[in-house]
Structure 1
Amino acid sequence: MDHRETAQVLSPSGRACRDPWVVASHHADPACFAQDESLFALSNGALGVRGGLEEDNSPSQGCFLAGAWERTPIEYHERFPGFAAHTDTRIPVADGTRIHLRLGDTPVRLGEGEWLQFERALDLRSGCYRRQLRWRSPEGPTLLIDAERIVSLDRPALLAIRYRVQSVDYTGPVTLESSISTARNATEQGDDPRIGTRVDGGLATIDAAADETFAHVLQRTAHSDIRVACMQQHAIIDDSLRFRLANLAPHGVMQVFEGELSPGQSVTLEKYVAYTWTPPGGSDTDAELLSAATGELAGAHALGHGELLARQSSMLAQLWHNADLAIDGDDATEQALRFNLFHVFQSSSRDGLGSTAAKGLTGEGYEGHYFWDAEVFMLPAMVAVAPHVARSMLMYRHGTLERARAHARELNHARGALYAWRTISGDECSAYFPSGSAQYHINAAVAWAIRHYVDGTGDEAFLRDAGAEMLFETARVWLDIGHFNPRRGGAFCIHDVTGPDEYTALVDNNHYTNRMAQRHLRDAATVAQWLQATAPEAYAELARRIGLESFEIMQWQRAAELMYLAEDERLGVFPQDDTFLDKPRMPARNGGEGKRPLLLELHPLTIYRHQVCKQADTLLSLMLAGDDVSLAAKRRNFDYYEGVTVHDSTLSASTFGVLAAEVGAHDKAWAYFQDTLRVDLDDLHGNAAHGLHMAAMAGSWLSLAWGYGGMRVIDGELHLRPQLPHAWRSYRFGISWRGAHLRVDVDAHNVRYTLTRGDDIAFHHAGKLTHLRGGEPVSMPQRQLAPTLPLQAVIFDLDGVIADTAVVHRAAWEQLAAEIDAPFDEGIAARMKGVDRRGSLEILLERAPRSFLEHEKRALEERKNAYYVERIGQFGPEQLLPGAREAVEAVRRAGLRVGLASASRNAPLLLERMGIAPLFDVIVDAARIARSKPDPEIFLAAAAALGVPPEACLGVEDAAAGISSIHAAGMVAIGIGQREDLGEADIVLPGLIAFRMADYVDNKNGATATIAEATNINA
C-alpha cells in the first residue's frame, strides 16, 4: 500500500492555516485513522458517527446513540453495602455509513491500491465532513471518490451521505453495496481502564429486512432492555445508478446499486440513515420503532441532501454568531478554538435526556459516561454560546434526581440526593469508591452550574420548576458528611471525601469541596428565601413534597458562614486538605516515550502517600468560587500547586491557564492555553483515538474568555477584565447574556464592547459598572495586571543585585569540589544560582565519588563558608554593583521601607563591609528561614518584618528561582539581567543602574505609585 502523505493542515498555534473555518488532514497512514475518526466525528447530541471512510472496514469506526447503552453487573470478591452494583456502558449501534465498491467483479480494497491524493475536511460553518481520495487500483485504473456527510442538528437521529465515484481512466461497470453493519462490538478493556470495558451482553439483532426502498435492522440489549432500529433509504442522482438487489448480509443488511463508468463520468448515491430507540424497558413496539424511522427517512428524502445541508448551516450560524471568535495574527488558534467549540456543541444533548459525556459521542473512552466536568467545564461554555444546550444538560440532572436520591440512600443518607460520579442512567458506575462515590463535590458542581446558568440566562422559570428542588435535595447531604467541629472553634468541617484530585482520596476538609459546598449552601438558602418571596405556593408544595423544614435552611446558612477554609501561615497557601502539606512530594518520574499517568504505573496507596495532584483541585475552587480571594493569594497558590501537579488529566491545563492569566504569569498562561487548545489536535495525551476530550475542548474557550477575557460572574453580575496575549495583534469573542449578546474586541490598548443583540446590558469592566445600549459601542482601557495597593516597600536580593559575589561563591565551591574530587562545571554553577548553602552542597554532591553522612555534610558546609568568608574579608564599597547604592538610597528618599532577602548567611557581614548596612530596615538571610528559593518564605518573612503586606512590595532578583519566590509571595518582581533568563519577571532591567525611583513615584507630589502602575513600567 503506497500512502503519499502530506502535512496536516491542523497547524500548531502561531502558524498560518489554510482556512480557519475548515479543519483538514491529509493523513493516509492507517496508523492515524483512529485519531482522525475521532477528530472528524459528527454528532447532534443524540447520534454520533465517527469520521471513517465509507468503503473501508476500519475496526475503530463506529456509530453511537446517547440513549443506547448496556448494563453490566460489577463483580467484587468482597462486596460491602452501598458499592456500585452495575455499570452502564455506551455501546456501538448498527453502522449505517458503509458503502463498498466493486469495479466489475473485483472488490475495491483501498489498502491494496495506491493513494495518489487524500484529504479529510470538516467545514465548521456547515457541520459537514467531506473527504476525497484519488486512488489507483492494483490493475491500473484510477478513481476519484468524493463523499460528504452530515448528522442533522435539525432531526432526532439522521445521518445523510452524498457519495460520488468518478472515473479518471476506467471504463466498465461499477457496483455500490450500501449496507447497515452490525459487526462492531464494544472495545474490550485492556491495561488502561479509561479505554474499553467488559460488557456482559450487548446488542443482538432481533430483526432484519431489505427491499428496493428500505433496509433495516432491529437490535436489543441483553440487560438494559433498550431496542434500537436503524433504517436506510437512497436517492440516485441523474439516473447514474440502478437498483440491482437487496439482501441480508452476515452482519446486517445490504442494498446494491450498479452503473457504468467511463473516463470523466461519475455515479452519485445519496444515502439517508435514521435511528429510533426506546428508553430502558420502553413500551414502543418494534412496528412503532420502524414506523418512526420510516417517517424520518420520508422527511429527509423529500428535503434532499442539499436542503439538509442548508438547514445545518443555518442552525450553526447562531452558534458562530454567539461565539463571535476572531484572532488577528493567529489563524491556527482561531481554527482550533472553533473546532473545539463545535465538538462540545454537537456532542451535547438537546432533549434533556442526556448531558455531555467525557468523550462526547466521538468514541468509546470512559464508557460514554457523564462526569461532573459536564457542569464545570462544558456547561459554562454553552451558557455563553448556546444557552438552550446548557438548559438541556441541567434537565438531564433533574430527570435523574430520583436516582440521585437512591444513591444517597445507598451511602446511608436518610434524606437528600447525591449525584453519581460517573453514570449514564443516573446510577453510580464506579467500582472504586475512594476516587468515585467519595467525590461528593459533584453535588456542588451541579449546584454551581444551576446558579451559573440562571445568572447567565435569567431563566427563573427553570430555577422555580426544577433547579430549586435539585439545590435543596443536594444541599442536605453536606450536613450529613460534615459537622461543627469544636476542635476547630466550631468551624464546619467535611470529612472523608475525595476532591477533583483523584490522587488524594478520602481526606478531611478538601479545600475545593469545602469552598464549593459553601457556595452551594449559600445558594440553596438564598433560593429558598427567593422562592418563598416570589412563589410562596410553589415553595410550600415543594417543601411539603420533600419534607423541607425552615430549620434546615438556617443550618445551611450557618454551615456556609462557618465553613472551614484553612490557610497555611508559613506558606500563605490553602492546604488542599488537612494532611496534604505534611506529605513528602512525589519523586520525579523517569523520562519515557509518551505520557502515561501515575494511576497506570503505581498502586493507589503509593500515590495517596505523596503530595502530588493529578489535576487542578484547590486552584479550580479559586477559578469557580474565589471571588473573595486576593490576587496575591491566588498567585501564591498557583505557584505552589503548579509544583506538585502532574496534569495527568486533560481537565487540568485550562484551570491553570485561567489562573495564570489572572495572576500575571503570562508565559505559563500561554503554555497552558496551548495544552488545552490542542490536546486532541496534537494528541497530547496519546488517547484521542478513543474519543475527544470534551472538557479540555470547552476549557480552551474558558482559557480565552475567562483567562484572557477575565470573565467571571460575581453575585449574579457579569465581570470582564480583558488582556492581550503577546502573540496576537487583537482578538474578539462573544457572550450571550440574559437574551443579549455582547461582543468583546481586545487590542493592544483598548477593549471595545458592542451590543449586537438586545436593547441593553450591564456589566463590569475592570471593576467599573458599565451600561451599554444597542448601537452605542464603548471603548475602555485594557486591564492592569496587578493589585492596586500603594507601593510601600522594596525588597532586594544581594548576590548579583547589590554585589557581585557570585564569583566568590563559585571560587569557594570550586575549591571544595577539587578537595573531594567532585566534578564542577558551568551547569552545576548555574544550578546553584540563588540556592542556599545546603541546597548548593546537595547539587555538588550529586556526582561526588562517594556519599557523605550528615555530620560530614555540615563540615563541608563550614569549610566552604570559611573559604567564602576569607575572600569577602577583602570586600569594600568598590564591590557594590553599579547603581546599587543609588537605588537603595532612592527608595529610602521616597519614604519606602527597604528590605534584603538573601540566601547567604553572610549577608549582614557583606553589607557592613560595603558600607550600606544602615540603609536596610530589615535583613532576612538563610539562617531565619526553613525553605530556600523558589519557596516564598524568605520574601514573606521580609515583608512581615517590615510590617508591609506582600501585595504592596516590589522584589528585586537576578535569578529565575528568586523571581518565582517573589511571585509566590504575591509581590511584583523586578528582574536584573536578560529577559530570556527572567521571562516571568514583571519588569526586567539590565542592572540597578537602570533603576529609577521616579518610575514608581508621582513626580509632582512624591506619592507612591500603585503596584499596578509599577507593573506596567518597562514591562
Structure 2
Amino acid sequence: MDKLDAAPALSPAPTARTVSPAPPAADVDPWRIVRHSTDPADFAQDESLFALANGALGVRGGLEEAPGGSQGSFLAGAWERTPIEYHERFPGFAAHTDTRIPVADAIGIHLRLGDTPVRLAEGEWLDFARELDLRAGCYRRTLRWRSPAGEKIEIRAERLVSLDEPGLLAIRYSVHSLDYTGAITLESSIDTARDAIEQGADPRIGVRVDGGFHTEQSDADETSAWLIQRTTHSGVRVACMQRHRLDAALHCRYGGHGANGVVQIHEGALAPGGSVTLEKYVAYAWTTPHDEDTDAALLARADQALLRAQAQAFSGLLQAQQRALASLWERTDLQIEGDPRVEQSLRFNLFHVFQSSGRDGHSSAAAKGLTGEGYEGHYFWDAEAFMLPALVNAAPELARGMLAYRYRTLDRARAHAREMNHARGALYAWRTISGDECSAYFPSGSAQYHINAAVAWAVRLYVDASGDRDFLREQGAEMLIETARVWLDVGHFNPRRGGAFCIHSVTGPDEYSALVDNNHYTNRMAQKHLRDAAATARWLAAEHPQDWAALAARLALDEQEIVAWSLAADAMYLPVDPALGIFPQDDAFLDKPRLRAVTASEGKRPLLLELHPLTIYRHQVCKQADALLALMLAGNDVDRSAKRRNFDYYEGVTLHDSTLSASTFSVLATEVGRHDKAYAYFLDTLRVDLDDLHGNAAHGVHMAAMAGSWLALTWGFGGLRVVDGLPSLAPTLPAGWTSYRFGLRWHAAQLRVEVERNGVRYTLADGGPLRFRHHGTVHTLAPGGSIALPLQPQPARLPRPLKAVIFDLDGVIADTAVVHHAAWKQLAEEIGVAFDDATGERMKGVDRRGSLDILLERATRAYDEEEKHALAERKNAYYREQIAQFGPQHLLPGAQAAIASARAAGMKIALASASRNAPLLLDRLGIAGLFDYVVDAGRIARSKPDPEIFLDAARGLGVAPHDCLGVEDAAAGVDSILAAGMAAVAVGDSPALAHADVLLPNVAAFDIAQYTT
C-alpha cells in the first residue's frame, strides 16, 4: 500500500538551499541516518524519516521552533469513528470508518532573542543537520542560524520517545550563543491546533472526520501544564501533561493558556560562548473507547510518568533507551561487508518497524506505523504477511503482541462474518482499527478474504519460531479454528472441476483484479490455513484434552467439521496452465488482454488513480503479483522450475504500484536464480522511503516495504523458510558484497549466519541445541557450536548407469547466441521496440515465436498473426545470412571432444535445440554425423522450459528419460531437462544455472567419465 500527500504547509523557508552531497560509501555510518537539506519541500519527508515511536505514541520529526502544518503526534489508541455515507447502501456494507487522528502536539519550543521572536525562515541557515541515532533511538538536530540583525546562535535538540514508558516524550533543547548578548525566552507549549488532513482526490491520504478531538479541560502553572481532549464519537479521552528540568541559567516566568493550548515560558540570558538548556518531558495517558476512568486518574497517570522521567533526567532516559534497543540489535546481528549504505538502510528500516509495532495487545502495526496519517492509521493484512515475519526472529514479543491484538478483536471478526452472511466462524476486516471493517469499497475491501489466511499463517510462523505453545493453546487455536470455518462457507466442492474445492468471488492481494474465482493466492493460503487448523485442533485434543473439550463445546465444533477442512485442503483447486506452465492468478486472468502503457498525470501514481476500476479489471495487469507472494509464503511444495516460470511471466504484467511488490519479487528472484533482478528489487524495497521512490514518504513511511527489505535479506539472500517446523536456509551472496551476517532467534536459541564467498558458517551464539536445515540437509548445533558448510549444495548424485546424452546447440556446441541477439536487435530497431540485454537473456533457450512474443511485450501496438509470422521470418533471414558463414572453426572449444567422448563411452547422442536452423548449422559445423537424433523447434509444440523437446529426444533415442543426461547453457533449458526427469549439466557461470545438478564453467570441462563410473 502506498499514498500521496497533499502539499505540506511548512513554516520555515530559508533564504538559500544548502544541501550537502551524500557522503562517500566509506564515510557512511551504518548506525546513523544524517540529512542536511534546508529545502522546505523536503521537510515533510524528513519528518517521516525522523519520526520516533514506541508502539503506542508516535511523534514526527518536525522542528521545535516551527512545527509546521505536517508535524503531528499520534497515539495508536486515539481514533475517531465517522459514519460512511452511501447513496445506495446494501446489507453488510461497512457502516463507519475508524480514523487515527492527531493528538495535542507537544514538541513546540518557540524562541525569542530579547523581544524579537525567532522566525527561522527570516534568518540565514549557516549549517543544518538532522541525525537519527539507531543505537540510542534518539533524534538529534543542530542548526547554526544568523538572525536578520546579524546575531548568530546554534540550536541543538535531542528527542526520544521512551520504549519503556508508553506515553513518554523527552526533549533536551539547548541554545548556544556564537556572538549574541542579551535575554532569551523559551516558550514550551502543548498545541491543539492540528486537525486531521482533509481528504482530496487521493483516497489514500486524508479523511472526512465527523467530530474529532475537542479540549475539555486545560491548565498550567510554573510546575506543569496539561490538557484533556475527548473525541466526539469514539469516546476516547487523552490527557497530555508536560514538566521541565531547567539549568541554572533559566527560570520559569509564566504558566498558563496559549493561543491553541497551554504554555510555560522560561527566561534567561546569553553571552557569546554561553548556553541555556531545557529538558522537556511530555506524558500522554488515554482511555479505551467509552472507558470510565476519571480525568483525575488520567492526569495522575501522566504526572507519575513525568515524575519518573524527571528523576532519571534526559541522560538517564537515553541510557535506558539504548538498553531497550540492545536486544534488537543483538538478535539481528547484522553486518554487510561491501556496502555500508545497505547495512545502514536495513537497520533504519527495521528500527522503524520495531518502534511502530504495538506492544500491549491493543494495537498492531499500521501501514504507515505511527509516522503519519496515511491510510487513516488502519491495520491491514500487511501486518501479518510482512511486518510480523520481519520481527518474529528479532523481537518475538512484538509478534506475539500483534497476534494478541487479533485475538482481542476476534469477536468483532465474528460480527463481521455475520454481516457477510456467514452463520459461523470469523472474518477479519481488511482495514480496521477497532476490529470493524472500515473499507467502503467492498470489491477491494471486504472481498479480500485472504486476510484470514494471513492471520492464520502468522500464528503458525510465530509458534514455530518462538515455541510458544501456550499462545497456541490459549489464543491461537481459537483464531485458527474460527477463521478456518469461513472457507467452507465461501468455497465448495465443484463437480464441474472434478470435485475440486473452488473459492468464488474474492479479491486477492492484487487489487487490480477484483471479485474473481479461484484466486491462486487465496486458494493456496486457504489450503495451508485449513491444514494448520485441522492439525492444531488434533494437537489440542491430544495434548490438552480439557482445553480442547471446553473450546469445542463453546464453538460447537465436531470431528466431522475438522475432517471437512482436511478434505477441502486436499481438493483445493490450484490449476496449472498447460500452455504456459504457470499458476493462473485466477480463472479469467490469462484470458484477458494485456494493458497497454498508461501515462500517469503526475509523478508515480498508482493506476487506480488514473483509470476507472472496471477498465483495470478487464485487463491482465497486476498491482503486485499475488501468485508469487503465495509461492513465497506457502510454496514449499512447488519446485524451483515452476517458480521460475511464474516469476518470468508475472514480472511482465506487474506494475509494482504497491510498495509491497518489490520485496516479494526479490525473494522469489533469488530462489529461482535471477540474482541480478533479485538485487535490483531488493534496492527498490530497501530505499522506498529514504529515496522517496513512490513520491509519498511525506505522509509516513511504508512499514511493509521496510519489513520487506529485511525479508529480502533473510528470506531472499539467506533463503530462510520454515520446513516441518525447522528453520531452513539456502544462502547466496550478492555480487557486490564481500560477506554478510544476520542473526536468527529460534525458540530460546540465537543462530548467527555468516555468508562469505567460500561458504556459510552457522554459530549458536546463545541457547540450544538447535536443529536447522542447510540446502535441505538437517544439521544440529550444540550450545556454543559452529559449523562451516558450502555456499552451494553438493551436486546431486546422477543416475547410474547413464545411457544417453542430449546436448543443446546454442551456447553449448557453438556460440550462436550473439548471432540471435544481433538479429533480434536489428528487427527491434526496425519496428521501434526497445531491446536490451535483459530481454535477450529472457530469449535464451526459447523458440523463435516465443522470443518474438517476449520482444513484442514492449511494442506500442498490437500485431496480428500474419504480421507476427512475417516478423519471425524476417529475423530468421538475418540469422541465416550470418550462420551461412559458419564452419568448424565456430565450434566452441572442447565441444567436439565432449560429444566424441560421450559416444566413445557407449552413450547415445541427441541434439535438442530451440532453433529451427539446427540441421543447417550442424552441417556447417561439420558434426551432423555425431548425432543419433536431432530435435528442433519444428518437431515440437511447446518450447523450453516445457520438457517436450527433451522427452522427444529420449523417445527418438529409445531411452527412458531418467537414463538421460542433458547439457544446457540457459536457465529455461535446465528447467526443461529437470522437468523431463533427467539429470542436468549446466555450462556457464550465471547464478541462474545454480539449480542444475552439475555446473561447469564451459563445455571443455565436460567429462563423461565422472557420470558413468
Q: Deviations over 1:627-666 (max 9, x none)?
A: 1111222222222222222211111111111122222221
Counterpart of 1:324?
333
Closer/same/farther in 2, CA of residues 364 and 871 from structure 1, 3 Å limit: closer
Does 1:2 pair with 2:11?
no
Quick one: which of 717, 721, 732 aligns to 1:712?
721
Counterpart of 2:1012?
1006
TM-fit CA distance, 1:600? 1.5
Quick one: which of 809, 814, 831 aligns to 1:802?
814
Distance 2:707 2:833 in 1: 47
Counterpart of 2:88?
78
Counterpart of 1:484?
493
Counterpart of 1:454?
463
Closer/same/farther in 2, CA of residues 116 and 34 from structure 1, 3 Å limit: same
Q: Which amino acid is 2:918 matched to?
A: A
Q: Deviations over 1:44-100 (max 9, x none)?
A: 000000011100132111000000111111121221111111111111110010000
* 1:102-113 to 2 correspondences below 5 Å: 102-113=112-123
Closer/same/farther in 2, CA of residues 637 and 822 from structure 1, 3 Å limit: closer
TM-fit CA distance, 1:689? 0.8
* 1:851-1000 to 2 correspondences below 5 Å: 884-890=895-901, 892-893=903-904, 900=911, 902=913, 904-912=915-923, 915-920=926-931, 923-928=934-939, 936=944, 941-943=949-951, 945-946=953-954, 948=961, 953-956=966-969, 995-998=1003-1006
Aligned length: 984
TM-fit CA distance, 1:467? 0.6
Bigger Cα displacement from structure 2, 736-745 vs 567-576: 567-576
Q: Deviations over 1:364-402 (max 9, x none)?
A: 111111011111111122110111111110000000000
Q: What SS does the corresponding residue of 1:175 show, helix, strand or coil?
A: strand
Distance 1:513 1:812 in 2: 39
Quick one: which of 218, 224, 228 aligns to 1:218?
228
Closer/same/farther in 2, CA of residues 915 and 23 from structure 1, 3 Å limit: same
Q: Deviations over 1:694-732 (max 9, x none)?
A: 111111111111112221111211212222222222211
Closer/same/farther in 2, CA of residues 871 and 742 from structure 1, 3 Å limit: closer
Quick one: which of 764, 775, 780 aligns to 2:789?
780
TM-fit CA distance, 1:859? 6.9
Distance 1:516 1:470 in 2: 15
Q: Which amino acid is 1:241 matched to?
A: L
Q: What SS does the corresponding residue of 1:258 show, helix, strand or coil?
A: strand
Does 1:444 pair with 2:450?
no
Closer/same/farther in 2, CA of residues 95 and 831 from structure 1, 3 Å limit: closer
Counterpart of 2:441?
432
Quick one: which of 681, 702, 717 aligns to 1:672?
681
Q: Deviations over 1:811-851 (max 9, x none)?
A: 9999x99xxx9789997999898786678999999999x99
Does 1:546 pair with 2:549?
no
Does 1:114 pair with 2:124?
yes
Quick one: which of 210, 217, 229 aligns to 1:200?
210
Closer/same/farther in 2, CA of residues 255 and 922 from structure 1, 3 Å limit: farther
TM-fit CA distance, 1:782? 1.9
Quick one: which of 587, 600, 621 aligns to 1:612?
621
Q: Which amino acid is 1:435 matched to?
A: S
Q: In 2, are the aligned partners of 1:65 and 1:93 still within 8 Å (CA)?
A: yes
Q: What SS does the corresponding residue of 1:599 show, helix, strand or coil?
A: helix
Q: In 2, are the aligned partners of 1:10 and 1:24 still within 8 Å (CA)?
A: no
TM-fit CA distance, 1:928? 5.0
Closer/same/farther in 2, CA of residues 494 and 829 from structure 1, 3 Å limit: closer
Counterpart of 2:5?
none
Counterpart of 2:275?
266
Counterpart of 2:514?
505
Q: In 1, are the aligned partners of 2:367 and 2:380 still within 8 Å (CA)?
A: yes
Q: In 1, are the aligned partners of 2:134 and 2:348 still within 8 Å (CA)?
A: yes
Counterpart of 2:432?
423
* 1:584-663 to 2 correspondences below 5 Å: 584-590=593-599, 594-663=603-672
Q: What SS does the corresponding residue of 1:385 show, helix, strand or coil?
A: coil
Q: TM-score, normalised by structure 2?
A: 0.90
Bigger Cα displacement from structure 2, 617-626 vs 139-148: 617-626
- In structure 2, stretches of 5+ residues that fail to align are 1-13, 955-959
TM-fit CA distance, 1:171? 0.4
Closer/same/farther in 2, CA of residues 439 and 940 from structure 1, 3 Å limit: farther
Distance 1:128 1:813 in 2: 54
Counterpart of 1:743?
752
Counterpart of 1:1012?
none
Distance 1:843 1:670 in 2: 22
Distance 2:188 2:836 in 1: 67
Q: Which amino acid is 2:69 matched to?
A: P
Does 1:364 pair with 2:377?
no
Q: In 2, are the aligned partners of 1:639 and 1:967 still within 8 Å (CA)?
A: no
- In structure 1, stretches of 5+ residues that fail to align are 1008-1019
Closer/same/farther in 2, CA of residues 788 and 736 from structure 1, 3 Å limit: farther
Closer/same/farther in 2, CA of residues 865 and 220 from structure 1, 3 Å limit: closer
TM-fit CA distance, 1:9? 5.3
Q: In 1, are the aligned partners of 2:32 and 2:344 still within 8 Å (CA)?
A: yes
TM-fit CA distance, 1:549? 1.5
Q: In 1, are the aligned partners of 2:823 and 2:875 still within 8 Å (CA)?
A: no
RMSD (Å), alpha carbons: 3.6
Bigger Cα displacement from structure 2, 51-60 vs 166-175: 51-60
Distance 1:45 1:781 in 2: 41
Counterpart of 1:50?
60
Q: In 2, are the aligned partners of 1:943 and 1:953 still within 8 Å (CA)?
A: no
Q: Which amino acid is 1:796 matched to?
A: D
Bigger Cα displacement from structure 2, 410-419 vs 491-500: 491-500
Q: In 2, are the aligned partners of 1:158 and 1:272 still within 8 Å (CA)?
A: yes
Counterpart of 1:250?
259
**Matched residues, percent identical?**
64
Counterpart of 1:534?
543
Distance 1:826 1:414 in 2: 55
Q: In 2, are the aligned partners of 1:664 and 1:785 still within 8 Å (CA)?
A: no
Does 1:63 pair with 2:76?
no
Bigger Cα displacement from structure 2, 138-147 vs 905-914: 905-914
TM-fit CA distance, 1:596? 2.1
TM-fit CA distance, 1:968? 11
Closer/same/farther in 2, CA of residues 842 and 724 from structure 1, 3 Å limit: closer
Q: Which amino acid is 2:252 matched to?
A: F
Does 1:94 pair with 2:107?
no
Distance 2:964 2:399 in 1: 38
Closer/same/farther in 2, CA of residues 878 and 318 from structure 1, 3 Å limit: closer
Q: What SS does the corresponding residue of 1:734 show, helix, strand or coil?
A: strand
Q: Deviations over 1:531-558 (max 9, x none)?
A: 1112111111111111112211111111
Q: In 2, are the aligned partners of 1:82 and 1:410 still within 8 Å (CA)?
A: yes
Distance 2:134 2:312 in 1: 22
Q: What SS does the corresponding residue of 2:368 show, helix, strand or coil?
A: coil
Distance 1:376 1:925 in 2: 45
TM-fit CA distance, 1:956? 3.0
Closer/same/farther in 2, CA of residues 168 and 537 from structure 1, 3 Å limit: same
Distance 1:768 1:692 in 2: 39
TM-fit CA distance, 1:159? 0.3
Counterpart of 2:174?
164
Q: In 2, are the aligned partners of 1:636 and 1:967 still within 8 Å (CA)?
A: no
